[in-house]
C-alpha cells in the first residue's frame, strides 16, 4: 500500500463518514457540529500517533519521514477536509521549531513525539513585567548546579499555563554578556516544586493568561533546548513561528469566528440587506470581506521575519472587522445572556479580545521595526 493510500485509509478509520460528506458540500456548520461531537484533540491524538500531524518529521521524532512532496499532499488533504491538526497549547507551533533546529538528538526524541500527539501540552514563558516586546531585557536567572539548573524569576502573559505540562523558558545564564547573548532556552516542568501560577482575568471574563513565579526551580541540563547562552537565536525560531500563527494561519477546523463566517460575497450582500445597512456600512463590510480573503491567501506563505507583515495586517483587519460586527448588530451584539442568538453573544467578546491582537507576540510597533 502506498503512503497516500495508507493515509486515506487511516482518515477513514479516524473520522466519521459524515465528515467527508459535509466537507465535500462545504457545509461548515454541520461539520463544526460533528467536530465538537468527536472532539478536536481526540482527532489530533489519533493522527499524531500515526505520524500524520508532522509527516515530514523523522519517525523517531513522531513523524513519518515523508518527502516534502508527499508531506504536502497529506497536509493539503487535511486542510481540504478541514481536519484539526494542531495539538492544544504552543508546543507544536512554537517549541518544535526551536527544538528541531537547535536541540540535541536526545532532547528531540524526548519532546517531539509527545508534542505531535498532544500528550504533553506546552506554554510559553518568555515575557516578563519588564521585558515584553523588548524581550532581551529579561531578568529571570538560571544558575548551574552540577547537572541541573536552578531558576528564579517571574514570567507574565503565559497563555494557558494553568493547563500546560511544560513551559518554554528563556533565562539569563550569563549576566555579564550583552543582553541578547547570555540567554539560554529551556523546557521546564510546570508542576515542579517552586513553580507558582496566578491567573490574569481578561476584560472578557475569561482566564487565558497567567503570571508564573519561579523560585529556585530545578531543571535538568538534558531539558536545555538551545546551546548554552545561545537561547536568543533559538527563541527567534519560536517567535517567527508565533508571528505567522498570530497572522491567522489556522490549520484545520472550520473556525469562523467573525460576522463574515466564511460567507461568499453574495451572502455578505444578503447580510447587508437583512440588517438594513447604510451605503457606508455596506462598503466597509465588503472591504472587510476582501481583506479577509486576501489574508487567507497570504498567511502561511510568508516565512521568517516577513511574517511580521501579515501579523500587522491581520491585527488591524480583525480589530476593524469585529468593531464593524458590533456596530452592525447593534443591541443584539451587546446581549451576553438571555434570549439572544448564541452567535451574536460571541461578537462583543471577540471585539474585546481583538485589543490584544496588536500587542501579543510583539506589538505592531515592534513588527513595523522588523519590517
Based on the residue annotation, tell me whether 242 is a catalytic residue of this protein.
yes
β strands within the chain, DSSP E? 122-125, 141-145, 148-156, 166-172, 183-189, 195-201, 207-220
Nearest to 157 by CA among 176, 180, 144, 138: 138
The interaxial angle of helices 3-14 and 40-49, nearest 10 deg, is: 150
CA gap 186, 190 in Å, rounded: 12
Q: Which residues pair with residue 183 across a beta bridge?
A: 172, 230
Nearest to 302 by CA among 290, 288, 314: 314
| Catalytic residue selected from 242, 267, 350, 365 | 242
C-alpha 183: how far from chain center: 24
β strands within 245-285, DSSP E? none
**3-state DSSP assignment of residue 195:** strand
Q: Which residues pair with residue 143 across a beta bridge?
A: 150
Positions marked active-site: 242
Amino acid at each position: 500500500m502506498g503512503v497516500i493510500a495508507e493515509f486515506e485509509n487511516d482518515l477513514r478509520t479516524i473520522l466519521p463518514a459524515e465528515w467527508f460528506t459535509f466537507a465535500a458540500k462545504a457545509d461548515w456548520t454541520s461539520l463544526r457540529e460533528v467536530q465538537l461531537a468527536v472532539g478536536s484533540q481526540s482527532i489530533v491524538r489519533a493522527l499524531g500517533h500515526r505520524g500524520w500531524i508532522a509527516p515530514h518529521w523523522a519517525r523517531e521524532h513522531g513523524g513519518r519521514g515523508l518527502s516534502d512532496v508527499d508531506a504536502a499532499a497529506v497536509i493539503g488533504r487535511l486542510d481540504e477536509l478541514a481536519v484539526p491538526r494542531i495539538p492544544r497549547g504552543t508546543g507544536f507551533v512554537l517549541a518544535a521549531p526551536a527544538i528541531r533546529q537547535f536541540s540535541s538528538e536526545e532532547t528531540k526524541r524526548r519532546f517531539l513525539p509527545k508534542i505531535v500527539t498532544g500528550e504533553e501540552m506546552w506554554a510559553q514563558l518568555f515575557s516578563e513585567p519588564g521585558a515584553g516586546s523588548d524581550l532581551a531585557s529579561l531578568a529571570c536567572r538560571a544558575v548551574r548546579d552540577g547537572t541541573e539548573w536552578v531558576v528564579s524569576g517571574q514570567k507574565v502573559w503565559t497563555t494557558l499555563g494553568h493547563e500546560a505540562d511544560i513551559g518554554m523558558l528563556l533565562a539569563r545564564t550569563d549576566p555579564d554578556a550583552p543582553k541578547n547573548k547570555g540567554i539560554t532556552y529551556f523546557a521546564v516542568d510546570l508542576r515542579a516544586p517552586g513553580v507558582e501560577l496566578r491567573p490574569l482575568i481578561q476584560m472578557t471574563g475569561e482566564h487565558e493568561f497567567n503570571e508564573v513565579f519561579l523560585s529556585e526551580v530545578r531543571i535538568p541540563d538534558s531539558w536545555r533546548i538551545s546551546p548554552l547562552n545561545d537561547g536568543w537565536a533559538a527563541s527567534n525560531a519560536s517567535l517567527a513561528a508565533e508571528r505567522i500563527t498570530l497572522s491567522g494561519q489556522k490549520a484545520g477546523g472550520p473556525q469562523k469566528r467573525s460576522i463574515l463566517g466564511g460567507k461568499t460575497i453574495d451572502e455578505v450582500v444578503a447580510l447587508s440587506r437583512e440588517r438594513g445597512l447604510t451605503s457606508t456600512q455596506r462598503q466597509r463590510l465588503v472591504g472587510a470581506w476582501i481583506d479577509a480573503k486576501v489574508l487567507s491567501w497570504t498567511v502561511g506563505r510568508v516565512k521568517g521575519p516577513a511574517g511580521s507583515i501579515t501579523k500587522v495586517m491581520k491585527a488591524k483587519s480583525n480589530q476593524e472587522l469585529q468593531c464593524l460586527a458590533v456596530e452592525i448588530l447593534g443591541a443584539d451584539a451587546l446581549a451576553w445572556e438571555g434570549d439572544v442568538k448564541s452567535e451574536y453573544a460571541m461578537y462583543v467578546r471577540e471585539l474585546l479580545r481583538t485589543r490584544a491582537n496588536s500587542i501579543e507576540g510583539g506589538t505592531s510597533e515592534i513588527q513595523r521595526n522588523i519590517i
